[in-house]
Structure 1
Amino acid sequence: MKKILGLFLLLVALLSFGCSKQEETQNKIDVKNRNTVTLAAYRHLAPGNKDAYYCSKILGVWEPLITRDENGLPAPCLAEKWEMQDEGRIWIFQLRKNVYFQNGTKFNADSVIANFDRMKKGLKRSNFYSLSLPLYYPSLSRYEKLDDYTVRLIFKEPNINELYKMTDFGSPMFAPECFDDNGNFKEIAIGTGPYKITENALNKYVVLERNDNYWGEKGKIKNFIVRNIPNTDTRYAALKSGEIDGVLDLNAIPPFLADEIKKDARFAVESNKSTMIRYLALNNSRFPFNDIRMRQAVSLAIDRKNLVDALYLGYAEPTMNVLNYTSPGHKEFPLAYDLEKAKRLAHEVLGDKRCDITYCINGAEPLQKGEAELIAYWLQKIGLDVHIQSLEYATRAKMLRKGDYDIARLQKGLANGDPYEVLNSFLMPTGSIYMSSHTGYQNEELQRLMQQVKHTVDEKKRQQIFDRVQEIAVEEEPLVALFNDMNIVAYNKRLKNYKPLIYGVDLSKVELAEEND
């Protein structure tokens, strides 16, 4: 434990003095107006015209047909009601009436058809999640307007889980006038949400203005400015100085700084579950991780609870399962930490020899280095000598695609609520994570089950299949799950109702505290 604490304190010290002076002076915006709330994220939340969504759902600019409730289950948004027919081969959606896009045009069935036409043009990439018809609407053969507020989707195969696929990033709706002939945004995205974009300075800030014609409950704040401040310490300093009112999005504030800011009576910190899972990709296609015993040894040698307590101060949930705990299909497994068994399994593979291992991390995420050093300390006890490589995102992604690595620290969020999409991505040879990580894992039973669940209508049977798939993944460890994130937000108490959701913050609910207290 002393070793763990030492690594943690060293990491804190390094981060505390690593502030970038250049970032402190950039993005100067006049925010003296009390009706303007300024927030910050580590990335720019409106990447712009070339992004499939133009901006993150967090900003409240666009809305989907189907959203998620607090339990991650499908809930109405722009689609008010729906009906499944013919075991999921047909889905009929009743659209919400009296909804207008931010440019004044009416939202109706023609708008939905135009957005489906756009998705049909091919894969649109994004800083958030990719967008295409095959990705979220597999086996879709036809989509059609039945009347001004009714749309029908017809599939070649039963598609009982379609609602889960459509949640949030699976069914974004934009004003058709937004798109050029290739389906890209001409200018600023126009949605139906409670806020509209009035200015977007790429990689600097985005300005939001309340949509006073919003169909639902109007936003309480007239204007938001959401700044891009990549450096952790700079965001923290901006919050402490009053330059910003709060932080949001992934990695909004690391746990050790969250604990620090709680000591200041001017600020509050709150957390919720997050859709993000953090895990280790193991290169199953080469020695030693082509042997199941070594993958199991790695998993058993990692004390997940100790890691979460030491580095994340409890702001994370240790797990054995690569399916995130906000997914409706998630199965809970007891944590397994057994160093002696790990040593025995590793010895069966390595004998009396030791093995050099390359462990790739994302250099842009500060906590990953301390985490890797701690895991390397545990793995050296089972005969693995770990060499940590801190890489830029693009360089690391290229190495993974080529299979030029042994271990890589990765993460994945839930684009929607469909368990199949995530498990397929991780575990099937055609899955996006599988291919991009050059995983090389094969299991005939798992592949057969994943094909079976695509055509299983009964919900109870579907869950049984998903449970078995997760059991196989936990047993054979093609990927080593570490922990589920928590969505941590910190904010000045001049704000009220600044509550973390499982993804982001509902900006329309945020108020200025002094106006009502």
Structure 2
Amino acid sequence: MRFLRVLFLLMLLAVTAGCGQGGEQRSPSAAAADDDTIVLAAYRQLAPGENDGYYCSKILGVWEPLITADEETGAPAPCLAASWEMLDEGRVWVFHLRPRVRFHDGTPLTAQVVVANLDWMAKEPRSTAFYSRSRKNYYPNLVRAEAVDDLTVRMTFSQPNINQLYNMMNFGSPIYAPSCLADDGNFSGAAIGTGPFRIIENVKDQYVLLERNEDYYGAKARAHRIMVRSIPSPDVRFAALKAEEIMGVLDLNAMPPVLADELAQDERFAVSTSRSIMVRYLAMNGTRPPFDDVRMRRAVSLLLDRRLLVAALYLGYATPTVNLLSISSPFYKEFPVEQDVAEAKRLAHEVLGDERREIVYCVNGADPIAKGEAELIAYWLADLGLDVRIAALESPMMTAVMRRGDYDIARSQQGLPSGDPLYVFDGFFSPKGTRNRALSLGYDNPEIDDLLIKLNTEPDEGKRRAMFDRIQAISVEEQPLVPLYFDENIVVYNAARLTGYRALRYGVSLAEVAWK
């Protein structure tokens, strides 16, 4: 095991050294990075800007949703909506807004503003760096939204929708000041929200600068200013932490486990972890042999030693799974993680006989863990008669290749934008699902199709939970794709200089971060 860890560390450093062209950053302006500013880093730009469906990630604390997720249970929790009622078996939902809330531009939060946001969201779906923004997805069968009074919003749906709170969690119900909403569905300038931070400068692919919202209705942010730099390369983030050019990292893939473990040996740094919303999986091209055969998909799943992968590559900072639904979902059901090499070989032989087949295994070339993982999995797959050619691609090219179906296996991941499992199940398991088509899964199960239709109208929560359980059980049995493990959110920070820094399910406790 120790040998695998050392080997992977060497591989990680070699891969990221080759990514240096993406990691070299121009220094922010001296005015932006003054002595009072806490400088952090993420692997991507967390505020992609005016043409992004959300402008910035929720983890920056700029915008807030009507409904958020409880950090412990993942269940719906109040945010800008202080309370709510479900009427007429879910055909009507009434939301009562938190009083005395103002946007960063001084505009008060009112029911009329919420209705304007819903109208703006309906203009057309928007692609984003985070999750797609579509009113149809987050408010299915919405007939109208109306302001009953200044702090009460009434939403009427054409069908019962008992799961609406889960749809609206986090990225499902962001609320912005009307002044920043453009007529075409984009933003006219920086996003203006109600959160503990406001954006005062945003430089594409370099950094976003946040300043404390002094008029925040809740506990004010402890830091006056926070800059989040965009540093794609993990080894550059590692070096920047060691040199104290940045004080911490955040967002997905904040720091590879091996490098986090190295930093933990330095008394200046601390590692904080939390259950994550991300599931890592192997997509299987089900539109052509051999993975159009459920036996071959099951063979791959049974062959994999997920526990060894987690121990060797993630140093235990992950949890093996055979279920695509995130462990952070309140509807998650646990299934035993089986490994049976003999049965895997038997199933593969039923499909291939004594022939061997060459397959293409695609990975994101910028993800060193996925590359190291692919090398190990490719070694195992040889025992099934599969000769693997690993293709390390840039993200846009990989997306195009998968949509065309010019691959056999691809490493990917799925998060949880809201609390509603239908977002995941519809996308992956419906024949018309966006992820099903984008990954060329070719998956179609009539029983799941029927359950998805019933879930759109079933008002009884107990029956809905049973149907969610059944869909998960079928997916574990048929493996339209092969889940690998749930991430932990791993963040590293300079504990000698910062306080209040802790990992959350998504992001960090940014409003609590301060200089020591």
TM-score (norm 2): 0.97
Specify the alignment match of 1:45 in structure 2: 46
Deviation at 1:21, TM superposition (A): 7.3
* 8 Å Cα contact 1:27-1:227 kept in structure 2: no
Are residues 1:69 and 2:61 paired? no
Distance (whole Å) between structure 2 residues aligned to residue 485 and residue 108 of structure 1: 38
Q: Which residue of 184, 187, 193 corresponds with 2:186?
A: 184
Aligned residue among 206, 209, 212 for 2:208: 206
Alpha-carbon shift at residue 2 of structure 1 (Å): 8.4
**Structure 1: segments with no counterpart, 5+ residues:** none
Residue 502 (structure 2) aligns with: 499
Q: Give the secondary structure class of the aligned counterpart of 1:112.
A: helix
Name the CA shift for 1:264/1:29 in 2 (closer, same or farther; >3 Å): farther
Q: Which of 442, 458, 473 is equivalent to 2:460?
A: 458
Match of 2:8 in 1: 8
Question: Are 1:512 and 2:515 counterparts?
Answer: yes
1:219 to 218, 221, 242: 221
Cα pair distance change 1:108/1:420, threshold 3 Å: same
Alignment of 1:87-166 (within 5 A): 87-166=89-168
Q: Residue 336 of structure 2 aligns to a residue in which SS?
A: coil
In structure 1, what residue type is equivalent to 2:68? T
Superposed counterparts of 1:375-454, under 5 Å: 375-454=377-456
Looking at structure 2, the residues matched to 165 and 345 of structure 1 have their Cα atoms a distance apart, in angstroms, of 39
Correspondence for 1:473 among 472, 475, 488: 475
Whether the 8 Å CA contact 1:328–1:419 is kept in 2: the answer is: no
Aligned residue in 2 for 1:239: 241
Tell me the distance in 2 between the aligned counterparts of 1:259 and 1:5.
11
CA distance in 2, matches of 1:413, 1:127: 12
- 3-state secondary structure, aligned to 2:94: strand
Is residue 319–residue 335 contact of structure 1 (8 Å, CA) maintained in 2? yes
Per the normalisation by structure 1, the TM-score is 0.97
CA–CA distance in structure 2, aligned partners of residues 151 and 16 of structure 1? 50
Corresponding residue for residue 339 of structure 1: 341
SS in 1 for 2:144: strand
Q: How big is the shift at 1:5?
A: 5.1
1:253 and 1:202 map into 2 onto residues whose CA distance is 22
| Aligned residues: CA RMSD | 1.5
- CA distances 1:95-154 after superposition (whole Å, capped 9, x unpaired): 111010100111101110110110111111110111121010011111111111111111
Task: Please tell me the residue identity of whatever aligns with 1:499.
Answer: R
1:507 aligned partner, one-letter code: L
Distance 2:167 2:125 in 1: 16
**8 Å Cα contact 2:19-2:366 kept in structure 1:** no
Q: Does 1:27 align with 2:30?
A: no
Q: CA deviation at 1:420?
A: 1.5
Does 1:485 pair with 2:487? Answer: yes
Match of 2:273, SS state, is strand
Percent of aligned pairs with the same amino acid: 54
Listed one character per residue, the Cα deviations across residues 329-384 of structure 1 (whole Å, up to 9, x for unaligned) are: 11111111111110000001100101111111111111111111111111111111
Partners of 1:12 and 1:158 lie apart in 2 by 50
| Residue identity opposite 1:296 in structure 2 | R
Alpha-carbon distance in 2 for matches of 1:253, 1:399: 28
AA of the residue aligned to 1:177:
S
Do 1:498 and 1:510's aligned partners in 2 also have CA atoms closer than 8 Å? yes
Change (3 A) 1:423 1:457: same
Please tell me whether residue 281 in structure 1 is matched to residue 283 in structure 2. Answer: yes
- Read off the aligned partner of 2:514 and give its amino acid letter: E
**1:3 Cα offset (Å):** 8.0
Structure 2 unmatched runs, 5+:
none
Amino acid at match of 2:477: E
Corresponding residue number in structure 2 for 1:320: 322
Structure 1 distance, partners of 2:193, 2:469, is 38
CA contact (8 A) 1:4 1:374 kept: no
Q: CA deviation at 1:32?
A: 6.8
Choose from 143, 167, 170 the match for 1:168.
Answer: 170
Tell me what 1:81 maps to.
Answer: 83
- Separation in 2 of the partners of 1:181 and 1:297? 51
Q: Is the 8 A contact 1:495 1:510 kept in 2?
A: yes
8 Å CA contact 1:84–1:90 kept in 2: the answer is yes
What secondary structure sits across from 2:184 in the alignment? coil
Contact 2:25-2:206 within 8 A present in 1 as well: no
Q: Are 1:280 and 1:409, in contact at CA under 8 Å, matched by a contact in 2?
A: yes
| 1-structure distance, mates of 2:295, 2:2 | 29
Q: Distance in 2 between matches of 1:17 and 1:405?
A: 27
Distance 1:454 1:21 in 2: 48
How far the C-alpha of 1:8 sits from its partner, in A, is 2.1
Letter in 2 for 1:373: E
Q: Is the 8 A contact 2:13 2:235 kept in 1?
A: no
Spell out the pairing of 1:344-363 with structure 2 (5 A cutoff): 344-363=346-365
Cα distance, 1:263 vs structure 2? 0.5
CA separation of 1:348/1:87 partners in 2, compared to 1, >3 Å: closer, same or farther? same
Q: Is the 8 A contact 1:27 1:205 kept in 2?
A: no
Aligned counterparts of 1:204 and 1:17: Cα–Cα separation in 2: 20
How far is 1:453 from its partner?
2.0
Describe the SS at the equivalent of 2:423.
Answer: helix
Give the partner amino acid of 1:444: P
| Alpha-carbon contact 1:19-1:234 (below 8 Å) kept | no
Task: For residue 28 of structure 1, report the CA deviation from its aligned partner.
Answer: 3.9
Q: Is the 8 A contact 1:15 1:233 kept in 2?
A: no
**C-alpha separation in 1, matches of 2:377 and 2:170:** 35
Confirm or deny: 8 A CA contact 1:362 1:396 kept in the other structure: yes
Change (3 A) 1:305 1:22: closer
15-24 vs 120-129, which deviates more?
15-24
Q: Quote the Cα distance in structure 2 between the aligned partners of 1:46 and 1:32.
A: 17
Give the partner amino acid of 1:42: Y
Instruction: Kindly state the Cα deviation for residue 430 of structure 1 after the two structures are TM-superposed.
Output: 2.3
Deviates more, 1:417-426 or 1:75-84: 417-426
